[in-house]
Amino acid sequence: MTKAKSRLRIACLALVVAGASWTGMIAPAHAAPSDDDYTWKSVVTGGGGGFVPGIIFNETEKDLIYARTDIGGAYRWNASNESWIPLTDSVGWEDWNKNGVDALATDPVDPNRVYIATGTYTNSWDKQNGQIMRSTDRGNTWQTTKLPFKVGGNMPGRSMGERLTIDPNKNNILFFGARSGNGLWKSSDFGATWSKVSSFPNPGTYVQDPSNEYTSDIVGLAWITFDKKTGSSSKATQTIYVGVADKKQSVYRSTDGGTTWSAIAGQPTGYLPHHGVLSPDGNLYISYSDGAGPYDGTKGELWKLNTASGQWTNISPVASSSADNHFGYGGLTVDAQKPGTLMVATLNAWWPDETIYRSTDSGATWSPIWEFDGYPSRKLKYNLDISSAPWLTFNANPAPPEVSPKLGWMIGDMEIDPFNSDRMLYGTGATIYGSKNLTNWDKGGKLDISVAAKGVEETAILDLVSPPTGAPLVSAVGDVSGFRHDDLFKAPAKMLDNPTFTSSESIDYAELNPSFMARVGKADYKKDPNAKSIGFSNDGGANWYKANSEPSGTAGGGSIAVAADGNGLLWSTSDKGVFYSKTGGNSWTASTGIPANAKIASDRVNPNKYYAFATGKIYVSVNGGASFTASAVSGLPTEGNADIDAVRGAEGDVWFAGGSEDGGPYGLWHSKDSGVTFTKLDNVQEADFVGFGKAAPNRTNAAVFIVGKIDGTRGFYRSDDAGVNWVRINDDKHQYARVTTIIGDPRVYGRAYLGTNGRGILVADRVGGDQPSTGQASITPTTATYGVDNSNADITVKLTLNGNTLEAIQQGNVVLNKGEDYTLSDETVVLTNKYLSKLPKGETTLNFHFSAGNDALFTITVKGDTPSEPGTGEGVLKVQTFNGNVSATSNTISSKFKITNTGTSSVSLADVTLRYYYTINGEKAQNFFTDWSSIGTENVIASFKTLSNAKPGADSYAEIGFKSAAGSLEPGQSVELQTRISKVDWSNYTQTDDYSFNSTANSLQDSTKITAYLSGSKQWGIEP
């Protein structure tokens, strides 16, 4: 997996060229106090989401295990609940490179001691040198020794190792193998001071790719291994082996404690040594690849050195001369209790899957974990359980011989527990997998492999939204597309899909229609020439569909802003400039008056207004993004981070955060007049990101959250009074290195969501205040009838809150008045007869809006008279629907349908038709689009008809049908489709007078105003 290198430079190194402007100052405030009553928790993915290049077992204490990540810090195993504890959350903004862990060593003599070599890049992306960090309390606290060179936790070859090792006999001695030609280093005082071992002859020669800055550095030393038998308690070990990234001479040995060194005679050449593992029986096993990894390597070998005789033996499971060898070898481990038992993993056998090999005879023979059983069938010797992180399928359903989920990729490290031959852990590009019945393999049975990454959160977050309804959080994530979190502490079932971007770069929703969302990334056009780099959702991020078009020639990416009502889009692409669409993404036009790569945001009230920032200026559009005008304000930064955002519920309320520590203006600016003027907040020294949450009690202005510096202290801050006063909501133990974004929750006062570059998403809540819900709230019943048999009475609804609170009941965008329209007592809501008597005949849906989780829907059917014909129960079809776009006027009618066979026999879909009734509001030719269907968009057909006699709410209808290739619906089965209707000139419809339009539903529900037919015979609904 990649780590979105371009984004890393933006988020971590503040290299983005940007600008802003300001007029005026506000009076300085007192020093920002800390709000100590905050808790910080990880939003759970369950699988980690990033590369785990190293897993290290302590050799003398059972269950003392560490894991290192390339950009997300280090973790320690918690055996009591089988989870991982993060150890580097105290890393701050300035020393962010400590979250790149290139090596880790756990002390076999004093298990309380642990060391990490940290630093993220050896190139210009990281201005700081690396360091050795040491702990005497298992990583709870750290001391740091700066090194005179850089360390590369996220550089090529990072899954080689371990480069940092402790003498198993005299634990004050450590050796570290450096990168960049810096050679071998030694400490004799428990890592406090270090000196170069000048006698070591080879600092490495291998460079992955000299034409690219990221890959042009010398990989250096790969691993260090002590032969414990050549020392004794308190006497330094004499024999030490070192692997070097050099294809000519790669393995060196010292027999005098590191004083002198020589290359071992007869060693293999042409490959790089990834791991060197010394077995208790004296055999040194070395896995080789022709690339440094973790992405490259197309050939490899596995060798065994008999350290007593000096004999080398090629024990490769698949010989490098074989056509079947298209990979290197990476992860390597020996069973400490059974020295002749070892395992090795392929490194980047991308297709059809990685393979793990096991030998119980010191490499003489091998058993693969899977093998072909009549191509393309595969015989698997394992069961893989991803139930704790179901999204690890990566939304894939490949054709055999590929499977999903895979065993992994980039298996750079694999370890058998030195205390338990049945236990194994290995790292991949997305998670940690483990097994507890490893020896079943030797008995001819299957081993069970499952996700073992609980507590590891290593995603790089590129954008976050927290809408006022629906799921509390939806994310755009590097490498794993993104997630909709209905429950913050439960792993999502899938990534954001259709399109599934490798990295979703930006996401936004319509403030006045929050079920509509847009998301951009970079599509894989080689894999799918018809791919699009933008996708939409009409149900709050649960389901997505790709746009019908995109700006010509774009590679995608950049940032997206959605108009407040969802009827407009503004896209600042990564490469072609800024474009707007008023056609639901069906066509795009270049915006004028705005530079390329501008940061953009939509006004959260006025759908025609957008804001942008670039090259030191603020730009404003009042015509839906068609044209922008530069604001006259000046004095904003021209480089560094830049974040512009608007406040929900307040037109023209815009904030800008940005600047660079390299110099120039830096801080937080606020405008209340749509960017005409900006006021710089003098009490904020630095600010990089700004977001908004629910207003404090008895206040109407949104809570403001920033990532910044106040009174000399870096942190995360909240203001309840529009920036006059601030409180720090984190402490020095919760800093999370360089973060990428901060937002508030519109439903929970005080809650903030923090996006990080390698530590996932964090949620912060006030202790004693609004807390994360303990479950999803619900209501009973969910439907009721009013006005039957002249019985007009109140309606009672029971609440099951599960730790939530009822915040509002809404009919569409109208909030019901508590005390007049309804009463609330404990967990009982009573809808009053006074309110109910004003409802129109037919169905009205109410949204019960809770402090967290999804809304609950309550449908009231008002019956003044018995309908002249039944709408339900008369046939074998049932129709459920909702409108994705509920604006009063819109150029698109967007509807989602679900058709269910309620009968007892199969129904051919070719015989099924639906009718959606509406007023055309100006006769024009029309287009019909199927954005998504469970039976394929190509199998849906439609035509437009005009009623011979116009009816209230309908003079036209769309008749939707299916091709014969759509197949059949068996009893109980359903088909779903997501559709749009537009006029060829994209003129507006007025939806409020449309017969089939439902302005209140935001999820599928029974709809009798849409009719369904089977071979022309009506099965469902009431015709107008």
Is residue 48 within 8 Å of 56, Cβ to Cβ? Answer: no
3-state secondary structure of 184: strand
641-646: strand order across its sheet: 641-646, 654-659, 666-671, 679-680
| Residues 875-897 as b or e (16 or more Cβ within 10 Å = b) | bbbbbbbbbbbbbeebbbbbbbb
Pairing between β-strand 262-263 and β-strand 251-254 as defined by DSSP bridges: antiparallel
Q: Is 281 a catalytic residue?
A: no
Half-sphere exposure of 605 (CA within 13 A, CB side): 10
- Please state, in angstroms and rounded to a whole number, the distance separating the CA atoms of residues 327 and 319: 11
Helix, strand, coil percentages for the chain (3-state, nearest 5): 5, 40, 55
Q: Encoding tokens for residue 943?
A: 């035509």
**Integer angstrom CA distances of residue 620 from 90, 609, 686:** 40, 7, 24
State the catalytic residue, choosing from 35, 70, 353, 745: 70
Cα Rg of the chain (Å, integer): 31
With residue 144 as reference, give the H or E element that holds it: strand 143-146
Distances (CA, A) of 535 to 222, 476, 518, 557, 895: 43, 12, 6, 12, 16
Tell the burial category of 461 from Cβ atoms under 10 Å away from its Cβ (0-12, 13-18, 19+). Answer: buried
> Which run of H or of E encompasses 8?
helix 5-11
Question: Is the CB of residue 1008 less than 8 Å from the CB of residue 852?
Answer: no
Q: Nearest 5°: CA angle at 1009, between 1004 and 1012?
A: 85
β-strands 413-416, 877-883: how paired?
unpaired
Strand ranges for 478-624 from DSSP E: 481-485, 504-510, 513-521, 534-537, 545-546, 559-562, 569-572, 578-581, 589-590, 599-602, 610-614, 617-621
CA 477/CA 481 separation, integer angstroms = 5
* 712 residue type, one letter: G
* CA 884 – CA 892 distance, rounded (Å): 10
> What is the residue-wise DSSP string for 810-866?
EETTEEPPBTTTEEEETTEEEE-HHHHTTSPSEEEEEEEEESSS--EEEEEEE-SS-
Sheet holding 195-196, edge to edge: 164-166, 174-177, 184-187, 195-196
> CB of 68 within 8 A of CB of 747?
no
Contacts of 414 (CB under 8 A, 6+ apart): 55, 330, 331, 332, 333, 343, 344, 345, 356, 424, 425, 426, 427
Q: Are 962 and 1017 in contact (CB under 8 A)?
A: no
Q: Yes or no: say if 850 and 1010 are a contact pair by the CB < 8 Å rule.
A: no
Alpha carbon distance 359, 921 (integer Å): 75
Q: Is 110 a catalytic residue?
A: no
Hey, what amino acid is at 486?
A: D
* Options 107, 227, 335, 479, the catalytic residue: 479
b (16+ CB within 10 A) / e for 957-972 = bbbbbbeeebbbbeee
Q: What is the Cα 533 distance to its own chain's centre?
A: 17
Residue 908 CA to residue 876 CA, distance in Å, equals: 12
Q: How far is CA 966 from CA 574, 897, 932, 938, in A?
A: 39, 16, 13, 9
Dihedral in degrees, nearest 10, Cα atoms 628, 632, 635, 641: -10
Q: Are the C-beta atoms of residues 538 and 896 closer than 8 Å to each other?
A: yes
Which residues belong to the active site?
A: 70, 479
